[in-house]
Amino acid sequence: MQQVALPNVALIGFMGTGKSLLGRMLAQRWGWRFVDTDSLIEEQVGCSVAQIFERFGEEYFRRQETEVLRSLEHQRHLVIATGGGVPTRPENVRSLRRHAVIVLLTAEPEVILQRVQPVETRPKLSTAPDPLAEIRRLLRERETAYACADIRIDTSTLSPSEAVLRIEELVKAWKPIPPP
């Protein structure tokens, strides 16, 4: 797939919107490399995201995220699945903008709840008495952060192959807005 206006494609969005599954499928389809920021951090730290939150705290995890994103800036032909909280730090968005078309995947809160089971493995939801209410609250809180995307796709009712084709179509058609 050569017709992309920037070297890489980054998938952002809430947990359960399909970033990892669709990212992997896209990378395979295009012959690009797939990377997942959560997995890169897990490899670097040597334990799971849930354990990192538990042992070192969220702030430590967020610093690792920023570092991992920096390390991707000079690579090309990557499909990057980002952790759901990545766009909440403006420096992360600036970093992605330098080299990637940013695609926001969305889904209805009820669909997200079904897809993130078991919530015990999701540190941002595992302690919430009402995970659906917490998903809604976090989605509202992150609305502005997620609005940084160049492209937005609702995956609630799409099959994975439909979603992949839709992402491909929109990414190919996307052009950066020229500066005034």
Q: Which residues bind ligand S3P (CB under 6 A)?
A: 15, 19, 38, 49, 83-85, 122-124
Residue 83 Cβ vs ligand S3P, minimum distance, rounded to whole Å: 3
Number of H helices, E strands in the chain: 9, 5
Q: Which residue has the tokens 């917490």?
A: 134
For ligand S3P, the closer CB: 8 or 37 = 37
Shortest distance in whole angstroms from residue 38 CB to ligand S3P: 5
Closer to ligand S3P by CB, 97 or 115: give it: 115
Structure tokens at 110: 């009820």
Closest CA to 87 of 163, 133, 143: 143
State the minimum distance, in angstroms, from the CB of residue 26 to ligand S3P.
Answer: 15
Provide the Cα torsion 18, 20, 21, 25; round to 10°: 120
Task: Match 């970093």 to its residue by tokens.
Answer: 95
Nearer to ligand S3P, 117 or 179 (CB): 117
- Which tokens sit at 151? 């492209």
Least distance in angstroms from the C-beta of 15 to ligand S3P: 4
